[in-house]
Protein backbone atom coordinates (compact mmCIF):
# COMPACT_ATOMS: atom_id res chain seq x y z
CA UNK A 1 0.00 0.00 0.00
CA UNK A 2 1.19 3.52 -0.76
CA UNK A 3 1.06 5.86 2.25
CA UNK A 4 2.53 9.30 2.62
CA UNK A 5 4.40 10.46 5.71
CA UNK A 6 1.18 11.93 7.13
CA UNK A 7 -0.55 8.54 7.02
CA UNK A 8 -2.79 9.33 4.07
CA UNK A 9 -3.44 6.26 1.93
CA UNK A 10 -3.03 7.27 -1.70
CA UNK A 11 -5.45 5.14 -3.65
CA UNK A 12 -6.75 7.54 -6.28
CA UNK A 13 -4.74 8.25 -9.43
CA UNK A 14 -5.63 10.84 -12.05
CA UNK A 15 -3.97 10.26 -15.38
CA UNK A 16 -3.61 12.96 -17.99
CA UNK A 17 -4.03 11.15 -21.30
CA UNK A 18 -2.91 14.14 -23.33
CA UNK A 19 -2.14 17.82 -22.87
CA UNK A 20 -4.03 18.54 -26.11
CA UNK A 21 -7.56 19.86 -26.26
CA UNK A 22 -10.30 20.77 -28.72
CA UNK A 23 -11.17 23.88 -26.63
CA UNK A 24 -9.14 26.76 -25.21
CA UNK A 25 -10.88 27.74 -21.96
CA UNK A 26 -9.70 31.14 -20.79
CA UNK A 27 -8.93 29.88 -17.27
CA UNK A 28 -6.95 26.90 -18.51
CA UNK A 29 -4.70 27.67 -21.47
CA UNK A 30 -3.76 30.42 -23.93
CA UNK A 31 -5.31 30.33 -27.39
CA UNK A 32 -1.91 29.73 -29.01
CA UNK A 33 -0.99 26.95 -26.58
CA UNK A 34 2.10 24.90 -27.49
CA UNK A 35 1.64 21.17 -26.88
CA UNK A 36 4.27 18.60 -26.04
CA UNK A 37 5.80 16.54 -28.88
CA UNK A 38 4.02 13.18 -29.20
CA UNK A 39 7.24 11.29 -28.47
CA UNK A 40 7.37 12.92 -25.03
CA UNK A 41 3.92 11.69 -24.10
CA UNK A 42 3.22 8.27 -22.57
CA UNK A 43 2.27 5.56 -25.06
CA UNK A 44 -0.57 3.14 -24.29
CA UNK A 45 1.74 0.32 -23.17
CA UNK A 46 3.60 2.71 -20.87
CA UNK A 47 0.38 3.93 -19.27
CA UNK A 48 -0.79 0.36 -18.78
CA UNK A 49 2.45 -0.74 -17.19
CA UNK A 50 2.32 2.17 -14.73
CA UNK A 51 -1.35 1.52 -13.96
CA UNK A 52 -0.50 -2.10 -13.16
CA UNK A 53 2.28 -0.99 -10.79
CA UNK A 54 0.07 1.59 -9.09
CA UNK A 55 -2.66 -1.02 -8.68
CA UNK A 56 -0.16 -3.35 -7.02
CA UNK A 57 0.56 -0.52 -4.57
CA UNK A 58 -3.10 -0.11 -3.64
CA UNK A 59 -4.47 2.34 -6.22
CA UNK A 60 -8.01 1.19 -7.01
CA UNK A 61 -9.56 4.28 -8.52
CA UNK A 62 -8.48 5.93 -11.77
CA UNK A 63 -9.73 9.14 -13.31
CA UNK A 64 -8.75 9.92 -16.89
CA UNK A 65 -8.31 13.57 -17.67
CA UNK A 66 -6.11 15.94 -19.64
CA UNK A 67 -6.13 18.11 -21.70
CA UNK A 68 -9.16 16.53 -23.27
CA UNK A 69 -9.00 12.74 -22.78
CA UNK A 70 -11.51 11.99 -25.54
CA UNK A 71 -9.19 13.41 -28.24
CA UNK A 72 -6.58 10.73 -27.55
CA UNK A 73 -6.48 8.16 -30.34
CA UNK A 74 -7.51 4.72 -29.10
CA UNK A 75 -8.97 6.00 -25.82
CA UNK A 76 -11.77 3.41 -25.81
CA UNK A 77 -9.31 0.50 -26.01
CA UNK A 78 -7.18 2.12 -23.35
CA UNK A 79 -10.18 2.40 -21.03
CA UNK A 80 -10.95 -1.27 -21.63
CA UNK A 81 -7.40 -2.31 -20.78
CA UNK A 82 -7.28 -0.17 -17.61
CA UNK A 83 -10.66 -1.54 -16.59
CA UNK A 84 -9.30 -5.08 -16.95
CA UNK A 85 -6.23 -4.37 -14.80
CA UNK A 86 -6.42 -6.43 -11.59
CA UNK A 87 -7.12 -4.20 -8.58
CA UNK A 88 -8.73 -1.32 -10.48
CA UNK A 89 -12.21 -0.99 -9.07
CA UNK A 90 -13.40 2.18 -10.73
CA UNK A 91 -12.46 4.17 -13.81
CA UNK A 92 -13.99 7.59 -14.47
CA UNK A 93 -13.27 10.52 -16.75
CA UNK A 94 -13.30 14.31 -16.66
CA UNK A 95 -14.20 15.68 -20.08
CA UNK A 96 -15.44 18.83 -21.75
CA UNK A 97 -18.20 16.67 -23.27
CA UNK A 98 -17.74 17.93 -26.84
CA UNK A 99 -17.21 14.42 -28.25
CA UNK A 100 -19.40 12.52 -25.79
CA UNK A 101 -22.46 12.30 -28.02
CA UNK A 102 -20.63 9.68 -30.08
CA UNK A 103 -18.16 8.36 -27.51
CA UNK A 104 -20.28 7.90 -24.39
CA UNK A 105 -21.64 4.49 -25.38
CA UNK A 106 -18.35 2.89 -26.50
CA UNK A 107 -16.64 4.28 -23.40
CA UNK A 108 -19.34 2.89 -21.13
CA UNK A 109 -19.15 -0.48 -22.87
CA UNK A 110 -15.38 -0.47 -22.36
CA UNK A 111 -15.85 -0.12 -18.60
CA UNK A 112 -15.98 3.60 -17.90
CA UNK A 113 -18.22 4.12 -14.89
CA UNK A 114 -18.99 7.82 -14.72
CA UNK A 115 -18.10 11.17 -16.25
CA UNK A 116 -17.61 14.66 -14.91
CA UNK A 117 -18.51 17.09 -17.68
CA UNK A 118 -17.31 20.67 -17.61
CA UNK A 119 -20.10 23.16 -18.16
CA UNK A 120 -19.62 26.73 -16.97
CA UNK A 121 -22.76 28.36 -18.36
CA UNK A 122 -26.02 27.56 -20.15
CA UNK A 123 -25.68 30.63 -22.36
CA UNK A 124 -24.27 29.81 -25.83
CA UNK A 125 -22.52 33.17 -26.28
CA UNK A 126 -20.89 33.07 -22.86
CA UNK A 127 -19.91 29.45 -23.44
CA UNK A 128 -18.10 30.48 -26.62
CA UNK A 129 -16.38 33.37 -24.82
CA UNK A 130 -15.20 31.10 -21.98
CA UNK A 131 -14.04 28.21 -24.15
CA UNK A 132 -13.02 30.41 -27.12
CA UNK A 133 -14.01 27.65 -29.59
CA UNK A 134 -16.83 25.64 -28.07
CA UNK A 135 -20.43 25.00 -29.08
CA UNK A 136 -22.75 24.65 -26.09
CA UNK A 137 -25.11 22.32 -27.99
CA UNK A 138 -22.34 19.73 -28.38
CA UNK A 139 -21.89 19.56 -24.61
CA UNK A 140 -25.61 19.36 -23.89
CA UNK A 141 -25.91 16.50 -26.41
CA UNK A 142 -22.90 14.88 -24.79
CA UNK A 143 -24.46 15.01 -21.32
CA UNK A 144 -27.63 13.42 -22.65
CA UNK A 145 -25.62 10.68 -24.36
CA UNK A 146 -23.68 10.04 -21.14
CA UNK A 147 -26.91 9.57 -19.21
CA UNK A 148 -28.36 7.28 -21.86
CA UNK A 149 -25.17 5.22 -21.83
CA UNK A 150 -25.45 4.77 -18.04
CA UNK A 151 -22.45 6.93 -17.12
CA UNK A 152 -24.29 8.07 -14.01
CA UNK A 153 -24.65 10.00 -11.85
CA UNK A 154 -23.41 12.75 -14.15
CA UNK A 155 -21.43 15.43 -12.37
CA UNK A 156 -21.08 18.86 -13.93
CA UNK A 157 -18.04 21.03 -13.19
CA UNK A 158 -18.36 24.78 -13.46
CA UNK A 159 -15.35 27.03 -12.97
CA UNK A 160 -16.65 30.45 -12.01
CA UNK A 161 -14.86 33.49 -13.45
CA UNK A 162 -15.58 37.10 -12.57
CA UNK A 163 -16.92 38.99 -15.55
CA UNK A 164 -17.65 35.81 -17.51
CA UNK A 165 -20.14 33.58 -15.69
CA UNK A 166 -20.52 34.53 -12.04
CA UNK A 167 -24.24 35.22 -12.50
CA UNK A 168 -24.75 31.87 -14.28
CA UNK A 169 -24.39 29.91 -11.04
CA UNK A 170 -28.13 30.46 -10.55
CA UNK A 171 -29.17 28.79 -13.83
CA UNK A 172 -26.69 25.99 -13.29
CA UNK A 173 -27.92 25.42 -9.73
CA UNK A 174 -31.49 25.32 -11.05
CA UNK A 175 -30.58 22.26 -13.15
CA UNK A 176 -30.44 20.20 -9.96
CA UNK A 177 -34.14 20.75 -9.31
CA UNK A 178 -35.20 18.38 -12.09
CA UNK A 179 -32.07 16.36 -12.80
CA UNK A 180 -30.27 13.92 -10.50
CA UNK A 181 -27.00 15.68 -11.32
CA UNK A 182 -24.32 16.99 -9.04
CA UNK A 183 -23.43 20.50 -10.16
CA UNK A 184 -20.07 21.45 -8.69
CA UNK A 185 -18.88 25.04 -8.59
CA UNK A 186 -15.12 25.37 -8.65
CA UNK A 187 -12.91 28.23 -7.53
CA UNK A 188 -10.42 29.17 -10.20
CA UNK A 189 -6.87 28.16 -9.28
CA UNK A 190 -3.67 29.90 -10.41
CA UNK A 191 -1.26 28.10 -12.75
CA UNK A 192 1.52 29.07 -15.12
CA UNK A 193 0.55 31.18 -18.11
CA UNK A 194 -2.60 32.83 -16.81
CA UNK A 195 -1.77 33.33 -13.12
CA UNK A 196 -2.65 37.05 -12.99
CA UNK A 197 -5.99 36.52 -14.74
CA UNK A 198 -6.81 33.57 -12.50
CA UNK A 199 -6.08 35.50 -9.32
CA UNK A 200 -7.82 38.71 -10.41
CA UNK A 201 -10.98 37.00 -11.64
CA UNK A 202 -11.39 34.65 -8.68
CA UNK A 203 -14.92 34.18 -7.36
CA UNK A 204 -14.90 32.45 -3.97
CA UNK A 205 -17.26 29.64 -2.99
CA UNK A 206 -18.86 31.93 -0.39
CA UNK A 207 -19.72 34.45 -3.11
CA UNK A 208 -21.19 31.73 -5.34
CA UNK A 209 -23.23 30.33 -2.49
CA UNK A 210 -24.53 33.78 -1.52
CA UNK A 211 -25.74 34.35 -5.08
CA UNK A 212 -27.49 30.98 -5.21
CA UNK A 213 -29.12 31.50 -1.82
CA UNK A 214 -30.29 34.95 -2.87
CA UNK A 215 -32.22 33.26 -5.70
CA UNK A 216 -33.46 30.09 -3.99
CA UNK A 217 -33.21 30.58 -0.22
CA UNK A 218 -30.92 28.69 2.15
CA UNK A 219 -29.16 25.57 0.84
CA UNK A 220 -29.56 22.36 2.84
CA UNK A 221 -26.27 20.65 3.74
CA UNK A 222 -25.95 17.05 2.56
CA UNK A 223 -24.34 14.72 5.13
CA UNK A 224 -24.03 17.56 7.61
CA UNK A 225 -21.94 19.60 5.15
CA UNK A 226 -19.06 17.09 5.23
CA UNK A 227 -16.58 16.96 2.37
CA UNK A 228 -17.36 14.45 -0.38
CA UNK A 229 -13.98 14.13 -2.08
CA UNK A 230 -13.07 17.72 -2.70
CA UNK A 231 -16.64 19.09 -2.71
CA UNK A 232 -18.86 20.27 0.11
CA UNK A 233 -22.39 19.22 -0.84
CA UNK A 234 -25.74 20.95 -0.52
CA UNK A 235 -29.22 20.59 -1.92
CA UNK A 236 -31.91 23.03 -2.98
CA UNK A 237 -35.12 22.26 -1.08
CA UNK A 238 -36.94 19.44 -2.93
CA UNK A 239 -34.22 19.07 -5.58
CA UNK A 240 -33.33 15.78 -7.25
CA UNK A 241 -29.68 16.64 -7.60
CA UNK A 242 -26.98 18.21 -5.46
CA UNK A 243 -24.84 21.33 -5.48
CA UNK A 244 -21.16 21.13 -4.57
CA UNK A 245 -18.57 23.78 -3.88
CA UNK A 246 -14.90 23.10 -4.49
CA UNK A 247 -13.13 25.83 -2.59
CA UNK A 248 -9.53 24.87 -3.35
CA UNK A 249 -8.33 28.43 -2.93
CA UNK A 250 -10.37 29.87 -0.04
CA UNK A 251 -10.96 26.70 2.02
CA UNK A 252 -8.37 24.08 1.00
CA UNK A 253 -9.22 20.44 1.67
CA UNK A 254 -5.61 19.24 1.61
CA UNK A 255 -5.83 17.15 4.80
CA UNK A 256 -8.28 14.82 3.08
CA UNK A 257 -6.35 14.60 -0.20
CA UNK A 258 -5.81 11.04 -1.38
CA UNK A 259 -4.92 11.95 -4.95
CA UNK A 260 -1.90 11.35 -7.09
CA UNK A 261 -1.52 12.64 -10.62
CA UNK A 262 0.32 11.24 -13.57
CA UNK A 263 1.09 13.92 -16.15
CA UNK A 264 0.84 13.15 -19.87
CA UNK A 265 4.64 12.93 -20.00
CA UNK A 266 4.72 10.36 -17.22
CA UNK A 267 5.66 12.42 -14.17
CA UNK A 268 4.08 11.62 -10.83
CA UNK A 269 2.79 14.97 -9.57
CA UNK A 270 2.37 14.92 -5.82
CA UNK A 271 0.13 17.98 -5.47
CA UNK A 272 -1.77 19.79 -8.20
CA UNK A 273 -0.52 23.14 -6.92
CA UNK A 274 3.11 22.26 -6.10
CA UNK A 275 5.89 21.73 -8.59
CA UNK A 276 7.41 18.63 -6.97
CA UNK A 277 7.23 15.65 -9.36
CA UNK A 278 8.93 12.30 -9.89
CA UNK A 279 9.75 11.37 -13.47
CA UNK A 280 8.64 7.77 -14.00
CA UNK A 281 8.68 7.67 -17.79
CA UNK A 282 12.43 8.24 -18.27
CA UNK A 283 13.49 5.33 -16.02
CA UNK A 284 10.74 3.19 -17.57
CA UNK A 285 12.12 3.92 -21.05
CA UNK A 286 15.66 3.30 -19.83
CA UNK A 287 14.72 -0.24 -18.82
CA UNK A 288 13.91 0.00 -15.09
CA UNK A 289 12.44 -3.18 -13.63
CA UNK A 290 8.96 -3.29 -12.06
CA UNK A 291 10.60 -3.44 -8.64
CA UNK A 292 12.70 -0.33 -9.37
CA UNK A 293 9.67 1.58 -10.64
CA UNK A 294 7.58 0.56 -7.64
CA UNK A 295 10.36 1.78 -5.36
CA UNK A 296 10.44 5.14 -7.17
CA UNK A 297 6.68 5.49 -6.75
CA UNK A 298 6.71 4.59 -3.05
CA UNK A 299 9.58 7.00 -2.37
CA UNK A 300 7.80 9.85 -4.20
CA UNK A 301 4.44 9.19 -2.55
CA UNK A 302 6.10 9.36 0.87
CA UNK A 303 7.07 13.00 0.24
CA UNK A 304 3.61 14.13 -0.90
CA UNK A 305 3.29 17.59 0.62
CA UNK A 306 0.71 18.32 3.28
CA UNK A 307 -0.97 20.94 1.15
CA UNK A 308 -0.56 23.76 -1.31
CA UNK A 309 0.93 27.17 -0.63
CA UNK A 310 -1.56 29.53 -2.28
CA UNK A 311 -2.16 31.36 0.99
CA UNK A 312 1.59 32.06 1.10
CA UNK A 313 1.49 33.34 -2.50
CA UNK A 314 3.07 30.16 -3.93
CA UNK A 315 1.40 29.23 -7.24
CA UNK A 316 2.91 26.61 -9.57
CA UNK A 317 4.69 28.18 -12.51
CA UNK A 318 5.95 25.07 -14.27
CA UNK A 319 2.81 23.78 -15.97
CA UNK A 320 -0.72 24.80 -16.92
CA UNK A 321 -3.69 22.86 -15.52
CA UNK A 322 -4.11 21.01 -18.82
CA UNK A 323 -0.50 19.80 -18.69
CA UNK A 324 -0.87 18.41 -15.17
CA UNK A 325 -4.27 16.83 -15.61
CA UNK A 326 -7.01 18.58 -13.66
Q: CA-to-CA distance for 34 and 29, rounded, in angstroms?
A: 9
Please pick, from the candidates 88, 189, 239, 268, the single residue that binds ligand SAM as defined by CB under 6 A: 189
What's the closest the beta carbon of residue 66 comes to ligand SAM, in angstroms?
5
d(CA 225, CA 232): 6
Helix or strand run (H / E) with residue 298: helix 290-302
- Is 219 a binder of ligand SF4 (CB under 6 A)? no
The answer to the question of residue 202 lying near ligand SAM (CB under 6 A) is no
Applying CB under 6 A, among 2, 10, 15, 21 the residue interacting with ligand SAM is 21
3-state DSSP: the chain helix, strand, coil percent, rounded to 5?
A: 35, 20, 45
Angle between helix axes 124-131 and 136-148 (nearest 10 degrees) is: 100
Cβ density class 41-79: b for 16+ within 10 Å, e for less:
bbebeebbbbbbbbbbbebebbbbbbbbbbbbeebbebb
Residues 6+ apart with CB under 8 A from 162: 200, 201, 202, 203
- Binding-site partner at residue 24 among ligand SAM, ligand SF4, none, CB < 5 to 8 Å by type: ligand SF4
Report whether 68 contacts 115 (CB < 8 A): no
Tell me if 29 contacts ligand SF4 by CB under 6 A. yes
Residues 6+ apart with CB under 8 A from 53: 290, 293, 294, 297
Does residue 25 interact with ligand SF4 by CB under 6 A?
yes
Residue nearest to ligand SAM (CB): 326
DSSP string, 38-64: GGGSPPHHHHHHHHHHHHHTT--EEEE
Partner interacting with residue 65 (select from ligand SF4, ligand SAM, none; CB below 5-8 Å by kind) = ligand SAM
Cα distance between residue 217 and residue 174, in whole Å: 12
Output the smallest distance, CB 23 to ligand SF4, in A. Answer: 4
Give min distance, CB of 65 to ligand SAM, in A.
5
229: left (phi over 0), alpha (psi -120 to 50) or beta: left
Between residue 86 and residue 145, which ones bind ligand SAM under the rule CB under 6 A?
A: 94-96, 118
Q: Minimum distance from CB of 240 to ligand SAM (Å)?
A: 22
Of 191 and 245, which has the nearer Cβ to ligand SAM? Answer: 191
CA distances (Å), origin 261, targets 51, 101, 168, 281, 297: 12, 27, 30, 13, 12
Instruction: Give the one residue of 18, 67, 297, 316 binding ligand SF4; rule: CB under 6 A.
Output: 67
234 binds, among ligand SAM, ligand SF4, none (CB under 5 to 8 A by kind): none
Binding residue for ligand SF4 (CB under 6 A) from 16, 18, 70, 96? 96
Per-residue binder mask for ligand SF4 (CB under 6 A), 115-144, x = binder: ---x--------------------------
**Which of 42, 53, 54, 66 touches ligand SF4 by CB under 6 A?**
66
Binds 264, which of ligand SAM, ligand SF4, none (CB < 5 to 8 A, cut-off by type)? none
Binding residues for ligand SAM, rule: CB under 6 A, are 21, 27-28, 65-66, 68, 94-96, 118, 157, 159, 186, 188-189, 191, 198, 321-322, 326
Binding residues for ligand SF4, rule: CB under 6 A, are 21, 23-25, 28-29, 66-68, 96, 118, 322
Amino acid sequence: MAYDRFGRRLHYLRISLTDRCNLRCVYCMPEDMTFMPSATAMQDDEILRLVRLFAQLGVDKIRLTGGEPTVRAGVVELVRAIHETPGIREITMTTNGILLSRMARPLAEAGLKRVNVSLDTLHAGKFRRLTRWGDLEDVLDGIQAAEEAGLQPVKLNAVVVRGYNETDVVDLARLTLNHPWQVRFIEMMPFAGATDFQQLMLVTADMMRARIEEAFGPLEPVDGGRLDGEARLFRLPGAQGQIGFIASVSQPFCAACTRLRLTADGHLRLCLLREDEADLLTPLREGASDEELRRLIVKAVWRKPWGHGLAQGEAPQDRTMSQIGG
